[in-house]
Structure 1
Amino acid sequence: MATLIGKPGLRQSVSDWDTSNKQMSDIAEHWRNISHETRQDGRVLRNETTCKTHWDEVNSSRRLSDRIWDLSRWRDTLESCAQEVDKEMDALTLGKEQTERALAATVDPLEVTVECLTLREGRFGNELVNDPVEAQLQTEVKVIDRAQRVLQQNNDKAFEQLCLLQERRQQLTLDLQNKIEAQDIDLSCLSLNVTSADISLKPNPLRIPTGSTTPQQWAQFSQFNVSRAQEDMLASLQLREEMSVTRAQLQNELEAQRIATEFAIRKRTHQLKQAHNEMLWQLKSTQDEISNMESDIRSLEDDLEAKMAPLKLVHTRLENRTKRPGVDLCKDEVQHGLVEEAKQLEANILLLKQKLAQNQHSLQVLQQHHARLGEDLSHKQDALSLEQRSLDIRSRLTSAPFTDSSLGVVVPLTNSSGRHKLELA
């Protein structure tokens, strides 16, 4: 009978075996519990991260929606402000064109006034006087010159204000275009989801781009652009009102001066007509007096001629009686009578000659004055003709040198983008 021989080695007891088995069971249960807890924690973490991811995405979408709404609100504000700037630029351009037409309308009145002044320099003699017409015409030149200077100043101010509004319009346009681009980007971001084909991981997505601004700076920038545009529009409105009031005031001044000048010309024309008629009467009366004087001179000359025969007779008688002989050569009554007759005739002839000389002198004076009257009448006729020509020249002027009634088509300035109105894409 064979003998059984066991394997050599250290053998454990049953109790050790039981203990070992229990220990293995306990360890297995312990790691199973740990594994279970780990799995439960993983499930909780998955649920939490899933919820967190979902709500973060929802919140990000909400914030994008809010941002898009803010951008849309600012777009509306900027677009509305830009449209108001365009309207104000149109209105100011219209006011500037009205002022330019008003300035151009002062050229003819100035030319007419200067032409009248030059024309009246053609007066001669006593008619070349510094009368009220001269003073009114010179005043009219000053009024027109002042109106031109004021209107030109308004034109310059309007041009500068238009340039300023154009600059504000460009700033609004640039800001609005940036808002449109930013809104398009945010709308594109809002349209993305986890299933979108064009999403991917990006290198360093958390970087802060250079030139980033805070939300406060972002809002302040647009608000600053809008505020400056509104301030410039208010200044433009005030300038337009000032230009309109200035045009009306200058219109009234020019019209009042035109009426005063034409009244002075008509009054002077009436005075010249009266003086002309007076000179005509004086000329006719002087001519009549000259005719009468010439007739009287001829009568005096005839009377003088008629006195020569009696004088010759008396002289002959006296001479012949000096030949009486002896005592018959006496101073008788005949001698005395002839002597007295001779003296009387000589005295009468002397008086007649003196009167003739006096009449001839008066005739010469009358003829000279008649010539002066004729010359003065000619000057008055020329002056009257010049005044009438002045009125004819001034008939080219209308009662309103410049008004806003005839308005042309206004071509507004374009904005920085080359379009008058900014259309949103």
Structure 2
Amino acid sequence: MEQVAGPLVPKKIQSYYQTPRPHPWRPTMGYENIELNPLPSQPVTNALMEPCTSPKGMATDPIRFPNLVTGFERNPAHAARTALYTRYTPYEWAQSQISNFNEADTNRNYSENLRSDAIKLMRLTDETTSSGQRDSGRRLGERITDTTFWRNEVATEMEKLTQETNLLQEAKRRVDKAIQDCEAPLHIAQECLYHREHRQGIDLVHDQPEQYLLKEVENLKTCQSKLSKLRQSLMDQLRNNRAAQHELETDIKSKESAIGIDSVCHQMNNFSRGINYYGGIEKYDTTLSVPDTWSEHSNRITSKSQSERSNSAQLRTDADNMINACANEIWNSWNNTNSALARRSTETLEAKNKLQMHLHKIQQEIFDVEKSIELLRKAIMDKSNPLKVAHSRLEARSHRRDIELCKDTAQVRLVQEVNDIGDTIESLHRKLQEAESQHQQLLMTRSNLETDLNIKVNTLFIDREKCLSMRKSFPVTLMVKY
């Protein structure tokens, strides 16, 4: 605030005084209370009355008193001529003295009363001023107490909010870790599905492990989506906490500044250094609130901070519950998939063992059939000589002459022998064809069994070596909070 300064008597404009130095925060006013300082008293002497002894720089002529007797300028001749006509009577002289005495008594009594009233007024104003100053100091002390109380309340609330914000940041870090931890099981499940796509033939079946793997992938993606939404909620809550904390910090700084100013004002007295006049300061209203709105503001930001702390605590609880629920769900899906893969591997291993057993039997049967085929072929070859003998006998007997060409029992038996040998060879050929056909069927069956065995071996390698080997240990650690 600028101090009022300037000449003792401001410039007079028509019927009012102009403010000597206008303030930047108020318009120029046409009047102002001023303080007049009387000039120092100095006795009037003849030296002051002479023109030659007038003060230097005086704009007007010096005062010249007339003659006390004649009322005119000093002139001895004129005074002697008019002396008889200027005398007063004794009565007039006495009355003049009495009048002067009465006037002196009256003025003295009035002056005494005026001094008494002035003393009473000074005492009253001193008491009023002291009482007002004490009341202002008391109210300043009460204001300092109220401000300190709310400052402590706001500071306590800000400390609690800061702790809650730190806990919420830790919860957000756990949620981020949970989202990141979902990537490893998801990658393993997708890798298992990719490997199982390399199964061959009949083993490309939509079996239980594949169903559990698809369900596991779906659960992992669902958990990631839920955790991502929760992470966004945590970020929004952190933003709200920081906004509330900023309001609390601003209010604390304002209250500490106000406490410092009010403390200085409370300790200020009539003998303090730095006190000064600031003209018109009482008309400059800089207040923005009243006690009700002031306390309501602190109560409002404190209530807002408490509400944000409550929301933050609820979010932290929801985050812990969701992390535990997702972890349990992922763990259950992981175990179910592993159990399904283990059961499927056991079934595949049993099928492989049975295939190997049947393949061994088929191989033995093929060997036996091949031996039978060789025996049949040898049997057919062995029938060639007896057939040749029978044919040779019949051909030789056909050279008999005349009546000797008799269809005797020998002839009949030879013909029957040839027919029997032919039937035998024919039956052996049929059996050989059947054996060869069965041999081809056995070879085809062996090929099918070998192909199926290779498929089972490949499936078993995928399920047991590729999938289960990746799923021996759970890739997430310390995800569940107990």
CA distance, structure 1, for counterparts of residue 478 and residue 462 of structure 2: 24
Task: Give 1:207 shift.
Answer: 2.5
- CA RMSD, aligned part only? 2.1
What residue number does 2:279 align with?
203
What residue number does 2:392 align with?
316
Structure 1 stretches of 5 or more lacking a match?
Answer: 1-6, 406-425
What residue number does 1:270 align with?
346
Letter in 2 for 1:138: L
Task: Give 1:56 shift.
Answer: 0.9
After superposition, residues 1-80 of structure 1 pair within 5 angstroms as 10=89, 12=91, 30-80=106-156
What residue number does 1:423 align with?
none
Which range moved further: 32-41 or 190-199?
Answer: 32-41
Larger % of helix: which? 1
Verify: 1:402 aligned to 2:479, yes or no. Answer: yes
Task: Give 1:210 shift.
Answer: 4.5
Which range moved further: 233-242 or 278-287?
Answer: 233-242
The match for 1:241 among 295, 308, 317 is: 317
Verify: 1:382 aligned to 2:470, yes or no. Answer: no
For residues 264-295 of structure 1, give each alpha carbon's deviation from its aligned partner in whole angstroms, at most 9, with x where no partner exists. Answer: 00000110111011001000011111111111
Letter in 2 for 1:165: N
Which range moved further: 261-270 or 369-378?
Answer: 369-378
Which range moved further: 71-80 or 44-53?
Answer: 44-53
For residues 286-321 of structure 1, give each alpha carbon's deviation from its aligned partner in whole angstroms, at most 9, with x where no partner exists. Answer: 111111111111111111111111111111111111
TM-score w.r.t. length of structure 1: 0.88
The match for 1:176 among 235, 248, 252 is: 252
SS in 1 for 2:270: coil
Which range moved further: 206-215 or 110-119?
Answer: 206-215
| Maintained 8 Å contact 1:102/1:401 | no
For residues 21-51 of structure 1, give each alpha carbon's deviation from its aligned partner in whole angstroms, at most 9, with x where no partner exists. Answer: 8877666555544444333322222221111
For residues 362-401 of structure 1, give each alpha carbon's deviation from its aligned partner in whole angstroms, at most 9, with x where no partner exists. Answer: 0110011111111111111111111112110112424757
CA distance, structure 1, for counterparts of residue 244 and residue 166 of structure 2: 14
| Maintained 8 Å contact 2:234/2:315 | yes
CA distance, structure 2, for counterparts of residue 351 and residue 401 of structure 1: 79
Letter in 2 for 1:368: M
Letter in 1 for 2:430: Q
Letter in 1 for 2:463: E
CA distance, structure 1, for counterparts of residue 228 and residue 186 of structure 2: 15
CA distance, structure 1, for counterparts of residue 385 and residue 412 of structure 2: 20
Task: Give 1:195 shift.
Answer: 0.7
For these two proteins, the number of residue pairs brought into alignment is 396
Which range moved further: 220-229 or 247-256?
Answer: 220-229
Letter in 1 for 2:398: T
| Maintained 8 Å contact 2:248/2:301 | yes
After superposition, residues 80-119 of structure 1 pair within 5 angstroms as 80-119=156-195
What residue number does 1:123 align with?
199
Letter in 1 for 2:278: K
SS in 1 for 2:281: coil
Which range moved further: 298-307 or 22-31?
Answer: 22-31
The match for 1:226 among 288, 297, 302 is: 302
What residue number does 1:187 align with?
263
**Aligned-residue identity in percent:** 27
Verify: 1:252 aligned to 2:328, yes or no. Answer: yes
Which range moved further: 234-243 or 353-362?
Answer: 234-243
Structure 2 stretches of 5 or more lacking a match?
Answer: 1-85
TM-score w.r.t. length of structure 2: 0.78
CA distance, structure 2, for counterparts of residue 195 and residue 134 of structure 1: 93
Taking a change above 3 Å as real, the CA distance of residues 75 and 95 of structure 1, as seen in their structure-2 partners, is same
CA distance, structure 2, for counterparts of residue 11 and residue 348 of structure 1: 209
| Maintained 8 Å contact 1:106/1:401 | no
CA distance, structure 1, for counterparts of residue 478 and residue 377 of structure 2: 70
Letter in 1 for 2:470: I
| Maintained 8 Å contact 1:119/1:386 | yes
Taking a change above 3 Å as real, the CA distance of residues 208 and 214 of structure 1, as seen in their structure-2 partners, is farther
SS in 2 for 1:224: helix
Verify: 1:325 aligned to 2:401, yes or no. Answer: yes
What residue number does 2:448 align with?
372
Taking a change above 3 Å as real, the CA distance of residues 151 and 395 of structure 1, as seen in their structure-2 partners, is same
What residue number does 1:411 align with?
none
Taking a change above 3 Å as real, the CA distance of residues 266 and 200 of structure 1, as seen in their structure-2 partners, is same
What residue number does 2:235 align with?
159
| Maintained 8 Å contact 1:307/1:349 | yes
What residue number does 2:213 align with?
137
Which range moved further: 216-225 or 153-162?
Answer: 216-225
Which range moved further: 107-116 or 227-236?
Answer: 227-236
* Greater relative contact order structure (CA < 8 Å, 6+ sep): 1
CA distance, structure 1, for counterparts of residue 288 and residue 114 of structure 2: 44
CA distance, structure 2, for counterparts of residue 8 and residue 196 of structure 1: 66
Which range moved further: 34-43 or 270-279?
Answer: 34-43
SS in 2 for 1:354: helix
Which structure would you say has the larger Rg? Answer: 2
| Maintained 8 Å contact 1:98/1:404 | no
| Maintained 8 Å contact 2:185/2:475 | no
The match for 2:376 among 300, 304, 311 is: 300
SS in 2 for 1:397: coil
